[in-house]
Chains A and B, each alone.
Chain A
Amino acid sequence: MVYSYILLILIICCNLSLISVPTVAELSIFHIRIPDLRSIMDITAELRKIVGERLSVSPSELYCYSSDASQVKGMPDYVVRPTSTDEVSRIVRLAYENEIPVTARGAGTGLAGGAVPVGGGIVLDMSGMNRILEIDIDNIQIVVEPGVIQDVLNDALKPYGFFFPPNPGSSAMCTIGGMIAYNASGMRCVKYGTTRHYVRDLEVVLADGAVIHTGSKMLKSAAGYDLTQLIIGSEGTLGIVTKASLKIAPLPKTRKLVITSFRNAEIAGQAVVKTFSNGVIPSACEILDRVSLQVLKRYDPKLVLPSEGDVILFEVDGTENSAREAAEQIIEVCSPLAISIKLAESEKEMADIWAARKLVGAAVSRLDPTKTRIYVGEDVGVPIKKIPELLRRAQEISEKFNLPAMKYGHIGDGNLHLALFIDVLNKDEWDRLNRAADLIHRTAIELGGTVSSEHGVGAARGQYMEAQWGPALEVMRAIKKALDPKGILNPGKLGL
């Protein structure tokens, strides 16, 4: 009878896919800690009181929240979809009291497992908090909820002649909350900066459920620590963002695109360095190596791209005159190094290239259906001057492990997206992939760079934080401990 009761408990636990649990009870005969089912049911009931039907413990639903676009996996125990700050606060308070991990999630487009509940617990699906609360053109700022989709926001701002500049490749689906949590940027960061540069105030739910504001509508403030900047990029480990005041920028009058190609990626890198040292700041500066080029051409054969070489796309924006002058200067600087240079002839030509570029990461399967792009080692960055060296060493790593690779990315800010692709049914290729990714991360650190330029650390890159930060990591740990003493906010992330 006792044994069948224990067996029943274990079966139920397995069915609920409980990797980690809210509270545990000691069962001495097995010397293992297993879930206190009564607590689980109590927590379920409490969560249901807060969010009603917007709670799920269905194994299939939990499975859908057990990953993002990375290779990190972790099964939640509960998924809730809050619709207000008050609900978030009450959920976090409940989690705090019961020491349950809480992981906030936007659209789940992350590439480092940041939104994956590696410690189990509650996943807060914030994508339902998706209202644009205020468009305040006079103050050149807006107030939004974290679930607003980046492209949706920019569609709303367009009639006013403004935009929110950070634009990740996933802008059609990623949320502003996720962008803030990971300090996302994208192609135009080289001129416009990252999400960090556009946040004025955040409403944040702290680990104990308290709600604070970190800033104001002021352009500047000299009063106290800058908590806004602390929260940005903290990956949900210090608090949950429930509202954000963002600075916006006027849409440029015009954009021009110079499409250049070079004999090899290293020369392309030299052209970028030369362009910057000549005083031109493009609004985007992207590299597409020859493999990426093939993939893009397969994705859309009508794209107006060079037929050979490694390509740099230089975009300049401003007034008609300033953009034209900048484009001419780029053409002049790159001419001695390039094998082809072309100015995009129409806005449609430009828009098509950018749309395709945004999706290049996943498009490799179109070139070879047996290959899948796996997002590991995909976001390293180095100082601009080191770009040619990073490109060369990335190529060496690809050859050393005999893994085909695309090299593309925001070369203008030193951010290289190395896309390694493998046959996912081949275990040996997985092994080589992981070793190649490890080496590319270590190479970036060696070159004075970072293991992540814009995708974040999450659970995928935590192991490199010590090497990248040294004693500074202890300061981060101290901050974490001060703000989240029970360690319930997105545990297992940032190498903390």
Chain B
Amino acid sequence: MRAVKNEGKKETKRAEEMKESGISEAREKSETNGKEQPFEIDRRSVYKCVQCGTCRSVCPVFDVVGWESANTRGRMLIIKSLLEGRPPSEDVLSSLASCTTCGICAAKCPAGANPPDVVEAARAQLVKCGVTTEAQEKLKAAITTSGNSFGETRSRQHWLSDTERSNLPEKSDYVYFVGCFDSYRYPEFAKKTFEVLQRFGVTLLPDEQCCASPLLRTGFREAAGKIMEHNLEQIRKVGAHTVITGCAGCYTTLKNNYPEELRVISLPEFLAEHLEELNLKHLDITVTYHDPCHLGRHNKVYDAPRKVIQAICTLKEMKNIKENSRCCGGGGGVRIGYPDISLALAKKRIEDVPEGVDYLVTSCPLCVRNLRDAGGDIEIIDIVELVAMALE
């Protein structure tokens, strides 16, 4: 668990607060092992919510579901009830497991609450109490047995030729963390990304595994700790001080859940820093840009992708951007757990595309996948594809 840097801090803080307040914590019986399991969450993070309902007006899941339990305030209330002694049961899952953790509620919360953190902590407690969805369990099984979220048994580097693989530098200051999605669903993105990054001496991890984002987002913190430790060892073996990734989910996990000494850069940030060396040609097209939640709202990477796009072509913004950007619906385990909700969110996001653009560009393969599934007339591409066009 050494790798999960944020957890320890929260739990210690909470224990101190509990001691000070003299309020005993709610205890419930685990459904899995019969032992008593405390439902432990930093109470202050939950009680910050004053139930004003600001989040209700922006929660994208609530927008398509309509029940109070499907908005952030409802989720915070349900978590409060668990803290106050209501036994955790499957009844809470449709609420707590359907949050995409997009973070628009946190961005808008006047009280400064951070509901995605609270929801993730609650999910971890539910896992501890043995309350999970089938989809969650499947996802966990896939990652823990195969090292990727799809349960793929192929090599993660199948998109490289044998020669390319054998020529990979064993040591480098920079490593490209490919991620499950680009490795198995969009190997063309991985290939194009690596082609660009190789110019700068970037290498790959010899045995990269899932970054653990899906495990962390859905509450499997213990399993996540093990896989993160594995990746850290790989990074140390290569001797890299900087990790570059093209996946927003991997980015936020590597940046915020791995040890702080690791320097993590998103692909758009790396590209924006090296625009001059890339010598990109101008394309006579107009594109729009979708901010992935885990790159934008969670990490405030708004300008870098826009800088890259504007170095290549004309950017025409979507209806809701940056902090107000709407979620594609793919994150937080919702794509796999609640595909209908996920798709409805993606369709809503497509409605934000302005008239007269050639492509919708984004910088997260999960967003690409979900938005492509939503259909529509607009072609959806990853930012690396746009860069590749400008390099041709």
A residues touching B (Cβ–Cβ < 8 Å)?
56, 58-61, 63-69, 79, 81, 107-109, 125, 127-128, 149, 151, 170, 172-174, 299, 359-366, 369-370, 372-375, 424-426
Contacts and interface: CB of A to CB of B under 8 A. Distances in A.
Contact of A373 (B50, B68, B113): B50
Contact of A64 (B44, B57, B68): B68
A158 to B, nearest CB: 16
Interface in B20-50: 20-21, 23, 43-44, 47-48, 50
Contacts, number: 112
Interface residues of B, number: 34
Contacts of A365: 48, 111-113
Contacts of B17: 425
Interface of B: 17, 20-21, 23, 43-44, 47-48, 50-54, 56-57, 66-69, 73-74, 77-78, 81, 86, 91-92, 94-95, 109-113
A172 B57 contact: yes
Given A363-B112, A372-B47, A59 B53 contact: no
Contacts of B92: 60
B129 to A, nearest CB: 15
A81 B113 CA distance: 28
A63 B112 contact: no
B57 A63 contact: no
A337 B297 CA distance: 44
B51 A61 contact: no
A109 B53 contact: yes
B78 A362 contact: no
The 7 closest A-B pairs by CB, nearest first: A359-B110, A64-B68, A425-B21, A173-B57, A64-B74, A362-B110, A109-B53
Q: Is the interface of A mostly helix, strand, loop or mixed?
A: mixed
Nearest to B62: A127
Given A56-B67, A425-B43, A361 B112 contact: no
A274 to B, nearest CB: 32
Contacts of B51: 67-69, 108
B56 A370 contact: no
B95 A60 contact: yes
A375 B57 contact: no
A81 B68 CA distance: 11
A163 to B, nearest CB: 18
B111 A362 contact: yes
A173 B50 contact: no
B341 to A, nearest CB: 15
A173 B47 contact: no
Given A58-B91, A67-B77, A299-B110, A359 B43 contact: no
Contacts of B20: 425
Contacts of A79: 67-68
B181 to A, nearest CB: 32
25 contacts: A58-B69, A58-B91, A58-B94, A59-B91, A60-B78, A60-B92, A64-B78, A68-B51, A69-B50, A69-B52, A81-B66, A108-B53, A170-B53, A173-B57, A174-B53, A359-B110, A361-B52, A362-B109, A362-B111, A364-B111, A365-B111, A372-B50, A372-B111, A373-B50, A375-B50
